[in-house]
């Protein structure tokens, strides 16, 4: 005898399939007819959008879009794109039954029957408001961290800058006084030239400081490495003790790079502050900038890069400590001297710019930090 009470396999799987779709509550899964009217509705759709099946079946799916999107013809455009290309994806605000909005990630796929006729569209929507908000928060945190680091760097610079400003003012005041009391036209002229020269150096100093302080939004632009070096070293000179020498070795005709100028300047300052901190007494910091061709030596990078190397002849890094230096908040400096954020910021910047940062160090001999940033592909894009 044939067993009864069993459905045929295909009916069975259809029922199972329906059960499966109904059980999904994290995704709204529903079908549209080719004109965009809702024909099925799962538990996830009810949970995410707030409508019961009997309230939406038969209605047009533009119901879920904002008034602005409807006015712009967005639902229709999506439908048409799906029908033309077999599928469409969209990310944007959607409206729940109670009028509140959520940020949706939606996919629309065409369903065809055995003959290839379009019988409808499957729509899968996810509420990714939380994900979007955490991404926005992360951006805000990054911007805040950048701001905090900048203040820290400015703090390191201002002491030295104030001192240098005082020196310039002293030159200006004493030269002016001497000129006032002098009868010799040649001498007066020489003194006035000193005044002008000191005034110009002061202007340049404030300009460099302000242009560093003004970088607010992170924005990627095409820039010449040598210009960033001039601006950075111009500032750094004031933060170095007299017995630390700063040498520069910047190659000619470096290719342009595409990064955020403020961040690059801050990373370079941080590397050089670290070099300064590693030197006890007299020493030398050497900045070498050159174009290199990489074939996987540095974190698998391939192609042309501008390499910024900061060498110092300081105390070096203990091999036990070396693997940790890029960790956020890792510092070997006394409380109030270091935050442990400089290198983690440098690392983040390098990765974000599709480059890398590497380190070689020998205790008692010195350290070299190398920052690699991709050269612009355009062969004509070399600086003057
Ligand atoms: N040039 C260097 N020479 C010696 N040690 C270094 C050098 N650069 C970084 N370090 C080590 O890496 C640690 C982390 O550096 P960083 O992230 O800039 O934080 P911070 O400078 O605030 O300590 C430093 O505390 C130091 O121990
Ligand atoms: Mg540091």
Tell me what the mean pLDDT of segment 316-333 comes to: 92
Tell whether 247 and 364 lie within a shared domain: yes
Q: Is the CB of 343 under 6 A from ligand 1?
A: yes
Tell me what the mean pLDDT of segment 145-161 comes to: 79
Task: Supply the range of the domain harboring residue 77.
Answer: 9-127
Centre of ligand 2 from the C-alpha of residue 364, in Å? 19
Confidence of residue 216 (pLDDT cuts 50, 70, 90): low
**Residue at 15 is within a domain:** yes
Cα separation, 315 vs 212, in Å, equals: 29
Q: Whose CA is nearest to atom 8 of ligand 1?
A: 274
Residue 246: name the closest of 342, 338, 310, 164 by CA. 310
Looking at residue 3, what is its pLDDT?
A: 44
For 183, the token pair is: 């009868």
Q: Which ligand is nearest to the CA of 345?
A: 1
Centre of ligand 1 from the C-alpha of residue 338, in Å? 8
Looking at residue 43, what is its pLDDT?
A: 92
Number of structural domains (the chain) is 3
Cα separation, 113 vs 296, in Å, equals: 50
> What are phi and psi for residue 106, nearest 5 degrees?
-125, 145
Tell whether 154 and 86 lie within a shared domain: no
Range name among 127-141, 156-170, 273-287 with the lowest pLDDT average:
156-170
Q: Is the CB of 325 under 6 A from ligand 1?
A: yes
Confidence of residue 121 (pLDDT cuts 50, 70, 90): very high
Tell whether 246 and 382 lie within a shared domain: yes
Asked if pLDDT for residue 379 goes beyond 70, the answer is no
**Residue at 205 is within a domain:** yes
pLDDT in tens, 230-250: 989 888 888 888 899 999 999
Tell whether 49 and 197 lie within a shared domain: no
What CATH number should be reported for the domain holding residue 30?
Answer: 3.30.450.20
**Residue at 1 is within a domain:** no
Tell me what the mean pLDDT of segment 186-208 comes to: 89
Q: Is the CB of 275 under 6 A from ligand 1?
A: yes
Confidence of residue 358 (pLDDT cuts 50, 70, 90): very high
Asked if pLDDT for residue 6 goes beyond 60, the answer is no
**Residue at 271 is within a domain:** yes
Looking at residue 341, what is its pLDDT?
A: 84
pLDDT in tens, 43-70: 999 999 999 999 999 999 999 999 999 9
Q: Which ligand is nearest to the CA of 357?
A: 1
Asked if pLDDT for residue 382 goes beyond 80, the answer is no
266 touches 308 (CB < 8 A): no
Mutate to test the pocket of ligand 1, among 308, 331, 365 (most ligand atoms within 8 A of CB): 331
Tell whether 207 and 224 lie within a shared domain: no
Tell whether 325 and 364 lie within a shared domain: yes
Q: How many residues does the chain have?
A: 384
Looking at residue 328, what is its pLDDT?
A: 82
Contacts for 140 with CB less than 8 Å, ≥ 6 apart: none
Cα separation, 287 vs 250, in Å, equals: 8
Centre of ligand 1 from the C-alpha of residue 157, in Å? 18
Looking at residue 2, what is its pLDDT?
A: 42
Q: Which ligand is nearest to the CA of 331?
A: 1
Centre of ligand 2 from the C-alpha of residue 320, in Å? 18
Residue in the structure block whose two tokens are 């928060």: 137
**Residue at 276 is within a domain:** yes
Residue 60: name the closest of 82, 39, 83, 78 by CA. 39
- The residue among 95, 127, 159 that closes a domain is 127
Asked if pLDDT for residue 92 goes beyond 80, the answer is yes
**Residue at 3 is within a domain:** no
**Residue at 4 is within a domain:** no
Asked if pLDDT for residue 208 goes beyond 90, the answer is no
Tell whether 110 and 13 lie within a shared domain: yes
pLDDT in tens, 280-312: 999 999 999 999 999 998 889 999 999 999 999
Tell me what the mean pLDDT of segment 189-193 comes to: 94
Tell me what the mean pLDDT of segment 21-50 comes to: 92
Tell whether 274 and 363 lie within a shared domain: yes
Rounded percentage of the chain residues whose pLDDT exceeds 90: 63
Looking at residue 11, what is its pLDDT?
A: 57
Tell whether 186 and 321 lie within a shared domain: no
Centre of ligand 2 from the C-alpha of residue 270, in Å? 5
| CB neighbour class for 128 (10 Å; exposed up to 12, middle 13-18, buried from 19) | middle
Tell whether 369 and 235 lie within a shared domain: yes
Tell whether 14 and 60 lie within a shared domain: yes
Rounded percentage of the chain residues whose pLDDT exceeds 70: 94
């Amino acid at each position: 005898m044939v067993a009864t009470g069993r459905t045929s396999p295909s009916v069975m799987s259809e029922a199972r399939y329906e059960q499966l779709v109904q059980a999904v509550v994290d995704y709204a899964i529903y079908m549209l007819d080719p004109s965009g009217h809702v024909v099925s509705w799962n538990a996830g759709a009810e949970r995410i959008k707030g409508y019961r099946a009997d309230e939406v079946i038969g209605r047009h799916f533009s119901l879920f879009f904002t008034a602005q999107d409807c006015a712009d013809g967005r639902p229709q455009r999506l439908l048409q794109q799906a029908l033309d290309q077999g599928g469409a994806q969209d990310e944007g605000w959607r409206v729940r039954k109670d009028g509140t909005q959520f940020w949706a990630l939606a996919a629309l796929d065409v369903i065809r029957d055995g003959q290839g006729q379009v019988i409808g569209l499957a729509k899968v929507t996810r509420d990714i408001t939380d994900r979007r908000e955490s991404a926005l928060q992360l951006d805000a945190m990054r911007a805040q961290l950048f701001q905090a680091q900048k203040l820290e760097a400015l703090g390191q610079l201002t002491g030295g800058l104030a001192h240098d400003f005082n020196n310039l003012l002293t030159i200006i005041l004493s030269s002016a006084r001497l000129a006032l009391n002098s009868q010799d036209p040649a001498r007066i002229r020489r003194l006035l030239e000193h005044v002008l020269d000191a005034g110009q150096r002061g202007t340049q100093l404030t300009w460099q400081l302000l242009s560093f302080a003004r970088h607010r939004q992170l924005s990627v632009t095409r820039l010449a490495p040598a210009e960033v070096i001039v601006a950075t070293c111009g500032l750094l000179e004031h933060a170095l003790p007299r017995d630390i020498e700063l040498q520069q070795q910047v190659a000619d005709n470096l290719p342009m790079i595409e990064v955020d100028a403020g961040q690059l300047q801050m990373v370079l300052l941080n590397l050089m502050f670290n070099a300064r901190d590693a030197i006890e007494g007299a020493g030398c910091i050497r900045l070498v900038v050159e174009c290199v061709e990489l074939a996987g030596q540095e974190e698998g990078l391939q192609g042309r890069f501008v390499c910024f190397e900061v060498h110092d002849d300081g105390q070096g890094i203990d091999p036990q400590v070396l693997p940790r230096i890029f960790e956020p908040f890792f510092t070997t400096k006394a409380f109030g001297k270091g935050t442990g954020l400089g290198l983690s910021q440098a690392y983040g910047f390098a990765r974000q710019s599709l480059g890398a940062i590497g380190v070689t160090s020998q205790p008692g001999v010195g350290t070299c930090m190398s920052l690699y940033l991709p050269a612009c592909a355009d062969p004509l894009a070399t600086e003057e």
